[in-house]
Amino acid sequence: QVQLVESGGGLVQAGGSLRLSCAASGRTFRTYVMGWFRQAPGKERESVSAIGMSTVYADSVKGRFTISRDNSKNAVYLQMDNLKPEDTAVYYCALDLPPYGGSWYKLDAYDYWGQGTQVTVSS
């Protein structure tokens, strides 16, 4: 059984920073991909970043967000700098265990999801 719990969201002014954390309960996973997605009001959930053998980012966050992981803690982090109002959304982490059956930016590629953490950026 796997449970993902996000934390670190909050209210921040434009140009500020937040660091999101996501911890997976249960076993330590030696091989996995973790991704971050976000969903703004009235919009579909979209990919933000993912980390496995390498890291990938959506064009909208390149140069501003940094993803990292701590395998010993089954944790993934998203450092968000120079936040913009358009970054406002609920942010979700997701876990993809092998065998990998899809692309990093596809929701249905992931096996487990967290409940989300709210990020609000004011102008």
22-81: pLDDT as tens digits: 999 877 777 789 999 999 999 999 999 999 989 999 999 999 999 999 988 889 999 999
Confidence of residue 5 (pLDDT cuts 50, 70, 90): very high
C-alpha angle 79-82-84 in degrees, rounded to nearest 5: 110
Average pLDDT over residues 87-96: 97
